[in-house]
């Protein structure tokens, strides 16, 4: 019986290959990873083959059916994320000795935050960049659950999530109160009618879109008063359906403002049909010292 190959050591070269593997998975294919990695698809394929030989296992299926991780590939990805996070943690701790801003800041943010007029995240990132030009900033747009799990397992330093069901292992710092209003599009029969002429019964009977992501209790109650015949996994999906003219739905006011300004959407009874969601910056309790992260959090507080 032939013994299975074992990995005797992890050199810088293996770490580079693992970073490449992680990037390919995040991009979803060799082709999509070309632009990110700056090398050709054939070179990526060669590097992936080399990594698989070194590990003694197949990490992914690739071909006409598309790119997909094997069971072993998923386990190697998880272990790679832990390893790379540990390396970054070591680098951050060494940087503390020099008191210089070096290393990475890995941030997870929910979608459609860039239109927030307060721009606290943008200003904090600008200040961080001015203090540490060599800091490498990585932003991932994710679901709230993925952000919280990423901060817990260490491959994210910080995240921005709605404060709905706090997890025990995380710390939450208030960031914004985000107001959502009820909208219809220019294609909808409500658009040209004053609010006073649109009855509560008509609103209850109109087709509406409900979010499939987590909401505060008052937001859930508000949606239950509508005839929700469609769902969307994020705010962009809700906007798509509203713009068809077939649905009404709630959107954050800052996100919908572009369409309102272009007279492609309007609010419906904004003084009484709205809800607020608190947004928070989330970090892990008992985290290791990280000068880059602490400076970023300081700047967020300054820009409050």
Handedness of CA 267, 271, 272, 277 (dihedral sign): positive
Domains in the chain, CATH or no CATH each: 12-79 (1.10.10.10), 94-169+282-302 (3.40.190.10), 177-278 (3.40.190.290)
Q: Write the Ramachandran bin of 56: left for phi over 0, alpha for psi from -120 to 50, otherwise beta.
A: left
| Confidence (pLDDT) at 204 | 94
| Confidence (pLDDT) at 199 | 93
Contact between 207 and 248 under an 8 Å Cβ cutoff? The reply is yes
**Residue indicated by tokens 């693992």:** 18
Contact between 278 and 177 under an 8 Å Cβ cutoff? The reply is yes
CA–CA separation, 96 vs 93, rounded Å?
A: 5
pLDDT, average across residues 72-97: 84
| Confidence (pLDDT) at 2 | 45
| Confidence (pLDDT) at 87 | 87
Chain segment 60-82, per-residue pLDDT in tens: 887 766 788 899 989 999 999 99
pTM of the model: 0.65
Chain segment 235-277, per-residue pLDDT in tens: 999 999 999 999 999 999 999 999 999 999 999 999 999 999 9
pLDDT of 1 higher than 50:
no
pLDDT of 4 higher than 60:
no
| Confidence (pLDDT) at 304 | 59
């Amino acid at each position: 019986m032939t013994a299975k190959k074992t990995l005797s050591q992890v050199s810088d070269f293996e770490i580079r290959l693992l970073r490449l593997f992680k990037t390919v998975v995040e991009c979803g294919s060799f082709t999509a990873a070309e632009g990110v990695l700056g090398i050709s698809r054939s070179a990526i394929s060669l590097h992936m083959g080399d990594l698989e030989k070194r590990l003694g296992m197949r990490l992914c299926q690739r071909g006409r059916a598309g790119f997909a991780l094997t069971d072993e590939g998923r386990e190697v990805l998880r272990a790679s994320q832990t390893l790379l996070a540990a390396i970054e943690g070591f680098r951050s701790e060494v940087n503390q000795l020099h008191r210089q801003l070096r290393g990475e800041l890995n941030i997870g943010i929910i979608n459609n935050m860039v239109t927030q007029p307060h721009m606290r995240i943008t200003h904090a990132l600008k200040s961080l960049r001015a203090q540490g030009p060599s800091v490498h900033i990585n932003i991932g747009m994710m679901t709230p659950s993925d952000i919280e799990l990423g901060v817990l397992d260490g491959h994210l330093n910080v995240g921005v999530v709605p404060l709905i069901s706090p997890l025990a292992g995380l710390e939450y710092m208030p960031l914004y109160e985000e107001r959502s209003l009820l909208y219809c599009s220019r294609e909808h029969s409500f658009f040209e009618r004053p609010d006073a002429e649109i009855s509560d019964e008509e609103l209850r009977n109109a087709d509406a879109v409900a979010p499939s992501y987590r909401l505060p209790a008052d937001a859930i109650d508000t949606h239950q008063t509508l005839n929700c015949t469609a769902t969307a996994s994020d705010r962009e999906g809700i906007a798509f359906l509203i713009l068809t003219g077939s649905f009404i739905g709630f959107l954050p006011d800052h996100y919908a403002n572009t369409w309102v300004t272009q007279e492609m959407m309007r609010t419906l009874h904004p003084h009484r049909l709205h809800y607020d969601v608190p947004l928070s910056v989330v970090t892990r309790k008992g985290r290791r010292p990280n000068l880059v992260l602490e400076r970023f959090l300081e700047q967020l507080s300054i820009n409050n």
